[in-house]
């Protein structure tokens, strides 16, 4: 962007902080004496393609093209036309032609470009982030947003920084990278509050309610809900409707399901819109949770089932986080209505979605680190190019240092990548490996047992009455029990045994070179130790716990992990139905035909 008069600078600075105010100022400036009409019209076009009806926006954009084509010098005309191309791509998105928007942006990227200001780069990167998100290219969108934040910080204006931070928080939340999502959303909220950017405050606050809830930070989620309630008065009915689910979640986090339910019922007429969308799924699982929290279990189950059925009938992509929580809610409701098979089915569906989210989270974190490195390297190379008058000898020495630094950075990036992969294969609460690790490792162990003609026991363990513990003593108590049980499990079994958290309160142990009766003896010792364990949370003594387990034996009960887990699951259910706190073996006579 070329140097402009102070009023134009003010309009540019406002364009991503208060788009309505920027558009009004730009319309005044384009008829003001001494102001470049082409640049003023560019600002009008930028506001129009984002705020006004499409036909009016297209007229303003065509006017900007005409004025920029006549601008002098030629470099200024090229700059104006390039911005008009960016605005054209935004307009294509508003008209529903996302593919057309992507084509225009690709053509713009392929053309030689002169020096561009930080604001120009922010507009381009932010727009590409939106386009690639709509096309389902989440990783490309994330990279563009990080580049947009880098450019935004160089503008020196709060608006672009607020927009980039809020969008990055939302995108990292979509990818379940909750720590980065919280960091960027808080940064965006603080900047928006300082600048008085009301819409950005609302969006960031809604995002933070969901992020804190996903992280188990109920106090923080409730505080954000109170903040949202204070911000909403005076907003349009459409905005209030959009923000009702996060507001209700804030009240739920504050243990006020009655108030949350009333909010959700106030907008119940809208819950059929886009049944596969985040809004509808969030409405469904939150309404069901409100029912469960008030003891209306049958109603909660019906509400959650209706939300899931509507989403499945609508087809299309579904927001993974809300789908996961909906399945968890269905599992809890089914358990409370004495439907264990249905509860297990939805618990497994929830865990399958959770595995997808964990993979996305690790990848998003890696991309964030990679982009940070690339941007730092690009800035460094730019600085080197500007300072081109140094002596040849000094340049050679510096190049050697840069190469060494680059090699070190590449090694660090590789280390981080490996660390992120390890994190993706471990359960963060218990420190045990997770289900993904189990399914990666098991085929090799089974093949080794087959070649060496050795037995291998597969044990499926499930903590008894764990849901009741969570409901009566709270999730902190449940987390403590899971952690201590995982520790006992690791201490009791051998180092050669593979122990994984299968999901929720369910664990799996693979015990190579171990017969079923040997595995049963080990599990019996573990049961005696665990049932004698007395845990305390603060000053509260927790009830003693037990577990039930089912044992299947390779190769007699199956030749694959899936078959063995299915047999062990059947034995586990037999243990549950026979009174819990016991270990059951798969009856040999049931599987005599298996090889």
Above pLDDT 70, what percent of the chain? 85
Same domain, yes or no, for 331 and 455? no
The more confidently predicted of residues 370 and 247 is 247
Same domain, yes or no, for 278 and 414? yes
- State which residues form the domain around 496: 433-591
What mean pLDDT value characterizes the chain? Answer: 86
pTM of the model: 0.60
Under the banding of pLDDT at 50, 70 and 90, the label for residue 591 is: very low
pLDDT digits (tens, 9 = 90+) for 386-396: 455 555 566 66
How much is the pLDDT for 252?
92
Query: Cβ(550)–Cβ(584) under 8 Å?
Result: yes
Lowest mean pLDDT among 33-47, 270-284, 324-338, 532-546: 270-284
Same domain, yes or no, for 408 and 526? no
Q: Phi and psi dihedrals of 365, rounded to 5?
A: -65, -40
- Radius of gyration (Cα) for the chain, nearest Å? 29
Same domain, yes or no, for 439 and 587? yes
**Does 42 map to a domain?**
yes
Q: Which residue, 115, 136, 170, sits at the end of a domain? A: 115
**Does 175 map to a domain?**
no
Q: Which residue, 373, 407, 424, sits at the end of a domain? A: 424
Number of domains in the chain: 3
Picking from 86, 115, 150, the residue whose alpha carbon sits closest to that of residue 3 is: 115
**Does 503 map to a domain?**
yes
The more confidently predicted of residues 380 and 244 is 244
Residue 595 reports pLDDT greater than 70? no
**Does 556 map to a domain?**
yes
pLDDT digits (tens, 9 = 90+) for 12-28: 999 999 999 999 999 99
The more confidently predicted of residues 274 and 61 is 61
Q: What is the mean pLDDT of residues 515-539?
A: 93
Same domain, yes or no, for 445 and 584? yes
How much is the pLDDT for 111?
85
**Does 247 map to a domain?**
no
19 Cβ contact list (under 8 Å, min separation 6): 47, 50, 51
Task: Enumerate the active-site residues.
Answer: 505
How much is the pLDDT for 174?
81
Distance CA 307, CA 289 (A): 12
Under the banding of pLDDT at 50, 70 and 90, the label for residue 592 is: very low
Query: Cβ(289)–Cβ(257) under 8 Å?
Result: yes
How much is the pLDDT for 593?
34
Picking from 361, 282, 357, 291, the residue whose alpha carbon sits closest to that of residue 325 is: 282
How much is the pLDDT for 10?
92
Query: Cβ(581)–Cβ(548) under 8 Å?
Result: yes
Distance CA 206, CA 229 (A): 10
Distance CA 572, CA 549 (A): 5
Same domain, yes or no, for 410 and 437? no
Q: Which residue, 76, 94, 115, sits at the end of a domain? A: 115
Lowest mean pLDDT among 203-212, 287-296, 382-391: 382-391
Q: Residue 329's domain is classified under what CATH number?
A: 1.25.40
How much is the pLDDT for 425?
75
**Does 300 map to a domain?**
yes
């Amino acid at each position: 962007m070329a140097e402009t008069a102070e009023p134009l600078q003010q309009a540019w600075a406002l364009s991503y902080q208060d788009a309505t105010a920027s558009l009004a100022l730009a319309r005044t400036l384009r008829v003001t004496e001494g102001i470049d009409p082409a640049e003023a019209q560019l600002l009008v076009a930028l506001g129009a393609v984002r705020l006004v009806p499409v036909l009016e926006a297209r007229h303003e954009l065509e006017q900007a093209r005409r004025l920029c084509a006549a601008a002098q010098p030629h470099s200024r005309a090229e700059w104006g036309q390039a911005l008009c191309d960016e605005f054209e791509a935004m307009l294509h998105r508003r008209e529903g032609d996302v593919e057309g928007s992507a084509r225009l942006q690709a053509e713009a990227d392929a053309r030689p470009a002169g020096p561009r200001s930080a604001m120009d780069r922010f507009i381009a990167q932010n727009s590409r982030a939106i386009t690639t998100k709509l096309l389902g290219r989440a990783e490309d969108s994330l990279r563009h947003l990080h580049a947009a934040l880098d450019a935004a910080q160089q503008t020196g204006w709060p608006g672009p920084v607020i927009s980039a931070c809020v969008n990055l928080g939302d995108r990292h939340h979509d990818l379940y990278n909750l720590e980065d999502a919280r960091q960027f959303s808080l940064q965006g909220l603080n900047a928006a509050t300082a600048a008085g950017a009301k819409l950005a405050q609302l969006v960031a606050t809604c995002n933070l309610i969901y992020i804190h809830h996903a992280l188990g930070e109920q106090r923080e989620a409730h505080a954000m809900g109170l903040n949202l309630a204070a911000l909403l008065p005076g907003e349009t009915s459409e905005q209030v409707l959009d923000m009702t689910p996060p507001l209700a979640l804030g009240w739920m986090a504050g243990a006020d399901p009655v108030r949350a339910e009333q909010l959700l019922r106030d907008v119940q007429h809208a819950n059929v819109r886009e049944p596969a969308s985040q809004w509808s799924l969030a409405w469904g699982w939150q309404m069901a949770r409100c029912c469960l929290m008030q003891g209306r279990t049958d109603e909660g189950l019906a509400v959650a089932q209706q939300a899931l059925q509507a989403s499945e009938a609508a087809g299309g992509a579904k927001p993974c986080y809300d789908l996961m929580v909906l399945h968890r809610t269905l599992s809890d409701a089914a358990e409370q209505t004495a439907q264990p098979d249905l509860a297990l089915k939805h618990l497994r569906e929830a865990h399958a979605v959770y595995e997808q989210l964990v993979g996305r989270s690790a990848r998003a974190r890696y991309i964030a680190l990679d982009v940070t490195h690339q941007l730092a390297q690009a800035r460094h190379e730019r600085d080197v190019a500007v300072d081109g008058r140094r002596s040849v000898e000094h340049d050679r020495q510096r190049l050697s240092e840069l190469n060494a630094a680059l090699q070190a950075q590449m090694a660090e990036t590789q280390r981080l990548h490996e660390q992120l992969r390890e994190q993706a294969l471990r359960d963060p609460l218990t420190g045990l490996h997770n289900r993904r690790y189990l399914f990666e490792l098991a085929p090799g162990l089974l093949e080794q047992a087959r070649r060496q003609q050795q037995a291998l026991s597969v044990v499926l363990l499930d903590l008894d009455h764990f849901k009741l513990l969570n409901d009566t003593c709270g999730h902190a108590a449940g987390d403590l029990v899971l952690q201590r049980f995982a520790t006992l499990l690791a201490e009791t079994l051998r180092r050669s045994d593979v122990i994984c958290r299968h999901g929720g309160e369910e664990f799996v142990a693979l015990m190579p070179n171990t017969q079923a009766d040997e595995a049963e003896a080990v599990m019996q010792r573990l049961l005696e130790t665990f049932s004698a364990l007395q845990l305390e949370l603060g000053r509260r003594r927790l009830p003693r716990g037990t577990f039930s387990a089912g044992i299947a034996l390779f190769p007699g009960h199956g030749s694959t992990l899936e078959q063995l887990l299915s047999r062990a699951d059947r034995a586990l259910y037999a243990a549950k139905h026979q009174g819990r706190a016991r270990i059951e073996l798969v009856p040999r006579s049931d599987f005599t035909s298996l090889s």
